[in-house]
Amino acid sequence: MSGLEGISCWLGGPALLAALVGLGFAVGILTGLFGVGGAFSIVPLLNVALGVPYPLAIGSSLCYTVGASASGLARHIRLGNYEPRSILALALAGMVGAVGGGALNRFAQGALGGRNYTLMMHGLFMALLVVTAWLIARGERANASGRTLVQRLALPPYIDLPRAGLRRVSVVGLGLVGAVAGVLAGMMGIGGGVLLIPALVLVVGLGPHQAVGTSLGVVLFSAMAGGTKYALDEHVSMWVVMPLLIGSVFGVQLGAWVCQALRARQLRRYFALLVLAVAAVLAVDFAAKLLSWKP
């Protein structure tokens, strides 16, 4: 298992593989329970719990997200939960954003140096996790107003989204939403579904079910572009990607099964608490790194 050398600072060989399968399984349960990818917890946990450097954790998480979102998207396409025209505009912008986010991350590594870069990433993830917990606890609320933000945006060209019942939607507006999701994917290695789904409901005006399938389509293409960027920089390891993917495939099934036994409101509260717990772990590591710093 020579490919496992140098991935983690603390674990090696079969112990590292078992930890990665376990992490994939745990994140898979979350995906099955709550319907979001969970990559937003994979990257910080890979770094803090397993000692995987951020660039390798981000690149590997993006390639894992490709597999996880492809599986989810295939199911949502069969169920008709997607809006094809908006996927095209959002995904194209998402791919550009993901490559840009990857470049931004690489620039930050060079400009800040190892320790400051890790602290910056910890800070970004803590902010993201707190926003995520808030969004989850709040729940999805459909857009109540008549015209959505991207319909009111006076930036041509416009397209109609007949499947969602939306007319004259600004392509530039859709592109901006996709680009922001893409930059987050490329910069932090998250799929971005947890932020993209509320954005698609509130800003674009898709229905909640359509938003889930459409988000998975955007996440898939953004993760493919971002994963390729990190692979070119040699920041992807299949020894990380495959155990995560194998663990998550089984975790998703268990999560979906448990989901039927719990109420939606209960689920949201537990998930928000879990996300805050990951943020707390990051905060402790952040403080420990700051306190141990010697100029």
Residues that bind other proteins (CB under 8 A): 63-64, 66-71, 74-75, 78-79, 224, 227-228, 231-232, 236, 238, 241-242, 245, 249, 253
Cβ-based burial of 288 (10 A; exposed 0-12, middle 13-18, buried ≥19): exposed
Cβ closest to other proteins, residue 72 vs residue 178? 72
Cβ closest to other proteins, residue 16 vs residue 224? 224
Residue 155 CB, nearest distance to other proteins (Å)?
A: 32
Cβ closest to other proteins, residue 35 vs residue 205? 35
Residue 243 CB, nearest distance to other proteins (Å)?
A: 12
Residue 116 CB, nearest distance to other proteins (Å)?
A: 28
Q: What is the distance between the alpha carbons of residues 134 and 76, in angstroms, rounded to a whole number?
A: 26
Residue 222 CB, nearest distance to other proteins (Å)?
A: 12
Cβ closest to other proteins, residue 206 vs residue 236? 236
Cβ closest to other proteins, residue 47 vs residue 228? 228
Residue 74 CB, nearest distance to other proteins (Å)?
A: 4
Would you tell me how many other CB atoms lie within 10 Å of the CB of residue 9? 11
Q: Which two tokens stand for residue 148?
A: 């959505």
